[in-house]
Structure 1
Amino acid sequence: MYIDPANKLFLSAFFVIILGTIGFFIASIFLDFKGDEDIQTVNFKNSDFHVNIKRLKSDKSYVLQVHRDKWLQDIYIGNDFGDKKIQVVELENGYKISTRDSSEITFTLDVDNEDFSSLYVKRRITKKELIVQDCLPLYTNENVNWYGGPEQMDQRYPIQSFEFTDYAYITKELHSAAIMERYWFSSRAFFILIDYETPLFLDQDGEHICFTAKKQLPYYTHNNVFEFNYRIGSAKTMKEMHVNVINKFLGKPKSLPDSRLIKYPIFNTWVEYGREINEEKVLDYAQKIIDNGFKYSLLDIDDFWEDCYGSTIVNTTNFGNLKALTSRLKAEGFIVGMWVHPFINKNCEPYYSEAKANGYLVESHNGSTDTQWWNSGTSQAGHVNFAKPAVQSWFRKKLEAIQNEHGIDIFKFDAGETSWFPADPVFEYDLDLTPSQITRSFVKMAADFGDKLEIRTGWGTQYLHVLVRMLDFDSRWTANNGLKSLIPTLLQFNLNGYVFVLPDMIGGNQYGNDVITKELFIRWLQASTFMPALQFSHAPWHFDDETIAISRKFTELHEQYSDYILERFNLAVTDGQPVNPPIWWLDETDEKALTIADEYLLGDKILVAPVIEQGKTSRDVYLPIGKWRDGNDDQIYEGGKLIENYQAPLDKLPWFIREEDAN
């Protein structure tokens, strides 16, 4: 049946679809050309979820209106069918709108039950020059809040204040965009989840968020066909919606990291020594950890232990007997780790030439393998091509050789984002996933090394059992990659399904002219105390005895609640629950709780409200619904209220226990 809108003919069509023998789904479509809009309505049998599809006469575009009990969200569909003749075709569980030139959109029901519903919107685009954009109003003037989206250096929470222009939605080092899941949701319990195969660009201002699909770099541009597919849906509550998305689509962890990394602090040589490391310094660091009364788990030997970058051969000048060093550390109870990266510098011979000759480096379509990273000059390095299974095997064997020869337990895998290899790369597999499939391949290969490692990037890898580290923080108080970014980044990871979060080093990385002060160090440690793991590099004993005592106090508090952290880890595996949710997790009807960016929960039991303002010894604390017992003095507070001017001198962290759990 073809319908020509220009003729303004009156026509209606009614479709009824029954899935299986239980009548799972009924869809009805009504076409009405009487006014300025053509209206179609899809109703779903087992819930109050339904979608209105309106065709606007003004520009021949479409609007999806999503409802569950009430109207939730409009989505402006970017396909312009113009005055072309439109065909509406009934499908088994939905329908398709198409034209004679093969332009089409299909709408099919994914899930529809009492608690959760989702609709899959799919386009196949056959002309590479076409650009398709769908936009969502943010409704910020109606107090709607938004969550999810990308990891960013100036992490926002909620995220509606972000601004993006034609932003390629791939993993990249720029802006600390190492976790780039395509999942956004609103406080109206509406979500959108865009397929990984879509060549996605993001535009966002204060009023709209727009998703653009187009065949342009950095995506694969050497064929004509691409798809723009996504799911939209809702649930009765935002919490139910999120857990369903994790379980049905994004994925949840399949197993846990080693519990020792959770109970006891990780120590790393990077900030303490930089690249000037050797056996003596590592042993001295370990001995000071012991002498100052700290418990410990992993000791990471960071950059620079190789004889040249990319050789994976130990520098025997600085590490004359690495095997003896690791044996001594293990005898003291340390897990011994080593920093690794995916680069080979050109001056690292013969390793660079061999890798290039064997096709082990990422190559661009113009034949170049040249790239650069923070430890090379411009065009003075290559990037290992983990998109090739044979290269993964080669690299894995090199690391296994280090383990066998030198007694290294585990590795810290750095980098992995797409921005490190040549533009327009050549990949043999999963072309529609270019370029971010190399991120996925890299971290999957890393996960083969066990449950004691860390990575810093992810792309559809929430199911892995590894700690995911926040990308390097600066040693500052600021909201732009400083201490104030810590909690928003924690919430961002959890709401994208990455719940085994490793905060960056306590105090930050001390780059450039930054200085880790005593106050910044202690407040950073306090803010991290109820996060999954603690990681030191700059040492507490550089300050004074008070700093050492305070540091031991909060590492012991973390250990005291580590069993509860592991309990939440197990719930993430079994049920898809976040480990550190935002405080609205307890009451999403609380409009104030929806916007709190400087507090977080551990599970549903602990609320943490650290001091993150320089020079402050008090802060206001907001407690959501319920009764709360102060973790410091057992005072009881009624929730749903603001505690003004809560006193928090340098040795005090404001934290609270839900009253029913207080004993």
Structure 2
Amino acid sequence: MIRFFKIYLSFSFLFCISALPLYAQTSLNIKAGEQWYGGAVNEAHLMPFKDGYSLNMYGDIRGNQAVPLLVSSKGRFIWSEEPFKFSFEKNKLVISAAKSVVTIDSAGKNLKEAFGNASKRFFPAKNKLPDTLLFSKPQYNTWIELVYNQNQQDILNYARAIIDNGFPAGVLMIDDNWADYYGRFDFRADRFTNAAAMVDSLHHLGFKVMLWVSPFVSPDTEVFRELLAKKLLLLDHGGDSGMSWEKAEKPAIIPWWNGYSSVMDFTNPEAKTWFLGRLEHMVKTYHLDGFKFDAGDAEFYPANGLAFKKVSPNEHSRLWGEIGLSYPLNEYRAMWKMGGEPLVQRLRDKKHNWEDLQKLIPHLTTAGLLGYQFTCPDMIGGGEYGSFIGKDKLDEQLVVRSAQCSALMPMMQFSAAPWRVLSKPNLAAVKKAVAIRAKYTPYLMEQVKKAAATGEPLVRSMEYEFPDQGFAEVNGQFMLGSKYLVAPMVWDGGTKTVYLPKGSWKDDQGKKIKGPVNITIEVALDRLPVFELLTPKN
């Protein structure tokens, strides 16, 4: 049977609904000079999209955040409540495989207006904030230092070293492998002799403490058998796509990066109640402050999965996101359609190389375009631990530049201990980046509150803030709010070309510059170039 959908069109003040249903494929002519962005955050380094690009978002969010939204530099946007496929073919944008009504809105004139119109209609800001400590101070994650050897003594040693080396206390995240198995919500006794006392000690040092959790449950365990008996897990239809949930008995076993597990079915309200109850147990028993919610990718909900309520794989991912709304101290790495909510997102794990460092700016600015304003770049120096294996010495310049790149983004998160991997001069450069963040924190916090109220991005692409000035493909610099242009070094070297738009600017060394102009500057290893917009020129 052919699936149909309607296309909603909006032109300036005219809003018209097509009188007849159209086929599930349609194409838009791309206007002269029109650039398109959106879909999946982890694809942002490929934006604006080029001829030949294609993505079907059904069950594929590219391991990070995604939204059924495309926005254009000419003010147009495309939205649907369900995933769809989009392709760029010569001078056309083709929309197909839509699972729901598709809205095409042409009321805006530029990228900022396209985003604003979409945000107000489909993912309005809730005027609620995550815990502001996530923004006001650096974050520290135990992953790269300990990987799967999370244990009480080394976590305390890491926290004390943060303070001893002159870094400010902030949020500390205890990462994976703190429990005996997935689904068991208690610290493993062989590595944590008194987890509550450990958390109390971390609080005394000035930290708030988050704990890594996932929706997975290790099979053939006591908790697994309990949840299966209550049918709170995703089930397997066993090859019979017509099987009802009531008759299903076997669990779906999901392959993921840590083996094979069952997964919670949050379409079942009882599963959500059980999971939230276990989180509250962890808070009360061990005095935790919040949680790092990992996994939950749409890719982990396979076609053979049978849920209490029939939904798309993407909706399973969104329901995982709803769990975090109970905790102001939260972080997600995978998300679907939760723009405007007080949820903290983190970019997908980046490797310890320059190529991945160069992805941070386009990925973060695109997250803002999709409504994820409270997004953290990945861990400084990289968070993809496989790229650290076998390395007895890191690229120190890369670590410094990574810290500078994060310094004026919404959040900055350390994992690899700078005092362990850097020489004294390079450690001093990283500490200077932290000090620069502290200098701009009052302005940053103003923007955080504004983003919660309006939904407008904290960190903005040049095209967003300065439309039609030729900045659509400038990915080496960004705007913090509307006042500061930040141009970190994301290439191996010491010189950088900065593109200044119209207006009067003052750089971080006090020099005044009149734009528009392109300037090539020397960037010492301890310098983060920042340009303040003094008087915009319209």
Normalising by the residue count of structure 2, what TM-score does the alignment of the two structures yield? Answer: 0.91
> 1:155 aligned to 2:45?
yes
Ranges in structure 2 where 5+ consecutive residues have no aligned partner: 239-247
Residue number in structure 2 paired with 1:20: none
Match of 1:213 among 88, 94, 97: 97
| CA distances 1:153-180 after superposition (whole Å, capped 9, x unpaired) | 573232336622xx4313546x43x222
Q: Is the 8 A contact 1:203 1:210 kept in 2?
A: yes
Where in structure 2 are the equivalents of 1:636-651 lying within 5 Å?
636-644=512-520, 646-651=521-526
> Would you say 1:247 and 2:120 are equivalent positions?
yes
Within-5 A mapping of 1:424-439: 424-429=304-309, 431=310, 433-439=311-317
The change in CA–CA distance for 1:185 and 1:506 in structure 2 (over 3 A counts) is: same
In structure 2, give the amino acid aligned to 1:373: W
Deviations 1:365-400 (A, max 9, x none): 335511121111xxx310111111110000010111
SS in 1 for 2:336: coil
Structure 1: give runs of 5+ residues left out of the alignment: 1-100, 126-130, 215-225
Q: CA deviation at 1:228?
A: 4.0
Note if contact 1:170-1:180 (Cα within 8 Å) is conserved in structure 2. Answer: no
1:314 aligns with 2:181: no
Amino acid at match of 1:267: Y
- Matched residue, 2:500: 623
For residue 190 of structure 1, report the CA deviation from its aligned partner: 1.9
Q: Secondary structure at the match of 1:626?
A: strand
TM-score when normalising by structure 1: 0.74
How far off its partner does 1:331 sit? 1.0
Separation (CA, whole Å) in 1 of partners of 2:488 and 2:354: 13
Q: Which residue of 2 aligns with 1:635?
A: 511
Q: Structure 1 or 2: larger helix share? A: 2
List aligned pairs for 1:590-605, cutoff 5 A: 590-591=469-470, 593-605=471-483
Asked which structure has the greater RCO (Cα within 8 Å, sep 6+), the reply is 2
Asked if 1:304 corresponds to 2:177, the answer is: yes
Matched, 1:133 2:133: no
1:370 has 2:256 as partner: no
Deviation sequence 1:424-463 (CA, Å, 0-9, x none): 432343x4x51211111111112212x1211122222113
CA distance in 1, matches of 2:296, 2:133: 26
Paired with 1:595 and 1:180, the residues of 2 have a C-alpha distance of 21
1:98 aligned residue:
none
Letter in 2 for 1:567: E
Report the 3-state secondary structure (helix = DSSP H, G, I; strand = E; otherwise coil) of the residue aligned with 2:122: helix
Aligned residues with identical type, % of pairs = 28
Question: CA offsets, 1:75-98, max 9 Å, x none?
Answer: xxxxxxxxxxxxxxxxxxxxxxxx
Amino acid at match of 1:138: I
Contact 2:503-2:535 within 8 A present in 1 as well: no
Does structure 1 conserve the Cα–Cα contact (< 8 Å) formed by 2:465 and 2:479? no
Cα offset, 1:309, TM superposition: 2.1
Count of residue pairs brought into register by the alignment: 520
CA distance in 2, matches of 1:321, 1:360: 31
Q: Does 1:383 align with 2:263?
A: yes
- CA apart distance, 1:553: 1.0
Query: Of the candidates 76, 81, 99, which is equivalent to residue 196 of structure 1?
Result: 81
Q: Indicate the larger mover: 364-373 or 408-417.
A: 364-373
Deviations 1:319-377 (A, max 9, x none): 01001101111111110111001101225x1112222221111123335511121111x
1:520 aligns with 2:398: yes
Give the whole-Å Cα distance in 2 for the aligned partners of 1:383 and 1:610: 40
Matched, 1:489 2:333: no
Structure of higher CA gyration radius: 1
The equivalent of 1:557 in structure 2 is: 436
| Counterpart selection for 1:261 from 131, 134, 145 | 134
Separation in 1 of the partners of 2:85 and 2:237? 22
**Residues 458/254 of structure 1: CA separation in 2 closer, same or farther (3 Å cut):** farther
8 A Cα contact 2:7 2:101, kept in partner:
no
Residue deviations 1:190-239, cap 9 Å, x none? 2222x223x5223334543321126xxxxxxxxxxx64432322224442
Quote the Cα distance in structure 2 between the aligned partners of 1:363 and 1:137. 43
Q: Tell me: CA distance 1:602–1:154, structure 2 relative to 1, closer, same or farther (3 Å).
A: closer
Distance 2:449 2:15 in 1: 27
Counterpart of 1:610? 488
CA–CA separation in structure 1 for the residues paired with 2:187 and 2:4 = 57
Match for 1:293 among 166, 173, 176? 166
What residue in structure 2 maps to residue 407 of structure 1?
A: 287
Please say if 1:351 is aligned against 2:237: no
Q: Which residue of 2 aligns with 1:170?
A: 58
Q: Contact 1:627–1:638 at 8 Å: present in 2 too?
A: yes
Q: What do residues 521-566 of structure 1 show as CA deviations (whole Å, max 9, x unaligned)?
A: 0111111111011100001102122222112111121122122122
Q: Is the 8 A contact 2:4 2:24 kept in 1?
A: no
Question: What value does the CA root-mean-square deviation take over the aligned residues?
Answer: 2.4
Native 8 Å contact 1:628 1:637 kept in 2: yes
Preserved contact between residue 253 and residue 464 of structure 1 (Cα < 8 Å): yes
The alpha carbon displacement at 1:422 in A equals 3.2
Counterpart of 2:241 in structure 1 is none
Q: 1:509 to 1:576 in 2, by over 3 A?
A: closer
Partners of 2:20 and 2:125 in 1: how far apart? 28
Give the alignment partner of residue 143 of structure 1, picking from 25, 30, 33: 33
Could you say if the C-alpha distance between residues 276 and 553 of structure 1 is closer, same or farther in structure 2, counting changes exceeding 3 Å?
same
